[in-house]
Amino acid sequence: MNTIRTFSFLFFLGLLMGCTRENTTKTMRLGHGLDVSHSVHKAMVKMGEDLLERSGGRLKLEIYPSQQLGTERECLELLQIGSLDMTKVSVGVLENFAPKMKVLGLPFLFRDRQHSFNVLDGPIGQELLKEGENYWLKGLGYYDAGSRSFYTMKKPIDQPSDLEGQKIRVMESVTAVNMVKALGGSPTPISWGELYTSLQQGVVDGAENNPPSFYLSRHYEVCKYYSLDEHTVLPDVLLIGTYVWDKLDPQEQAWLTASVKESVKYQRVLWAQAEEEALREVQKAGVQISRPDKSLFAEKVAGIYKDYEQDTEIYPLIKRIQETN
């Protein structure tokens, strides 16, 4: 009889412990605007798997892609009020919430891709990730978003004068607006989700983005000219709301940080493959790809840098980035 009672006690104790473990699982919701086939989404899925395993089931990630929870700006606002836990946005959108981030949107700032990695992975990049904390946004890491170039419907952009009279979609970014203006175009801020229709209806004549985004968005169906001037190297930033971060204990924060780091490494490999595939596929679809002289574009935007010479916060950052090996 005692054996039966002991067994029953252990059985119910096991059930209770199982329920307790289940109840202590923290589920974090991550919303973003990209398609599930995008390298960033795939890296997030890996991050979620890694986090679940690393935490022994204590931390779980639920991912909502394709603007299910709103545009990039809306997701940032949801993070600020604690209604969403994590998101991914382009640094161009983030500059509206963390002003120093605008430095990363300056055209022709980086010499090459490796230079950008050295800056983002080094002290400067880590300092910038902290910039949003006063606005309840904590940066966790940078995903590779390659270089942005112009794609258009009417003609290729092989020199800055080709932008004259062209309405070019840009993000809600003052830096992006100023860049297109300096090059002679007419910048038109439109959300990413509305861009395909805006191109079809002639609201804008073109846009600018990296090869995978151009391909996966199917914008190549409308725009048959892609000019690889590579004017900006604008990373994506993974963020968590400070409300959520502060509720994690130090061990949970360490698990999340480690999983983000592995996710970033994984995404960079996927990105390189995605760029090659995107350029190959859009060419197959009839897109004319050109590689204009970048120096012509760099000369036209040089005045933007002069505008920052009196800025005591941004100009020192520009100099530090330029001096980074």
Helix count (H) and strand count (E) of the chain?
14, 11
What integer pLDDT is reported at residue 23 of this predicted model? 54
pLDDT at res. 134 = 92
Nearest-angstrom CA–CA distance, 274 and 290: 19
Matching CATH number, 147-233+279-323, of 3.40.190.170, 3.40.50.620, 3.40.50.2300, 3.40.50.720? 3.40.190.170
What is the reported pLDDT for 21? 42
Cα(99)–Cα(258) distance, rounded to whole angstroms? 27
Residues in the chain predicted with pLDDT less than 70, given as ranges, are: 1-23
* pLDDT given at position 96: 87
Query: What is the C-alpha separation between 142 and 267, in angstroms, rounded?
Result: 10
Give the CA radius of gyration of the chain.
23
Q: At what angle do helices 39-54 and 250-284 cross, to 10 degrees?
A: 160
Give 44's DSSP letter. Answer: H
Comma-separated ranges of CATH 3.40.190.170 domains in the chain: 25-144+234-276, 147-233+279-323
Q: For residue 7, how many C-alpha atoms fall within 13 Å in the half-sphere facing its CB?
A: 4
25-144+234-276: what CATH class?
alpha beta
133-179 tens-digit pLDDT: 999 999 999 999 999 999 999 999 999 999 999 999 999 889 999 99
CA–CA separation, 119 vs 1, rounded Å? 70
Three-class secondary structure of residue 150 per DSSP? strand
Distance (Å) of CA 35 to CA 10, 81, 233, 247, 323: 48, 25, 21, 30, 36
Residue with token string 């990730």: 129
Instruction: Give the pLDDT of residue 20.
Output: 38
Q: Using an 8 Å Cβ cutoff, are 238 and 140 in contact?
A: yes
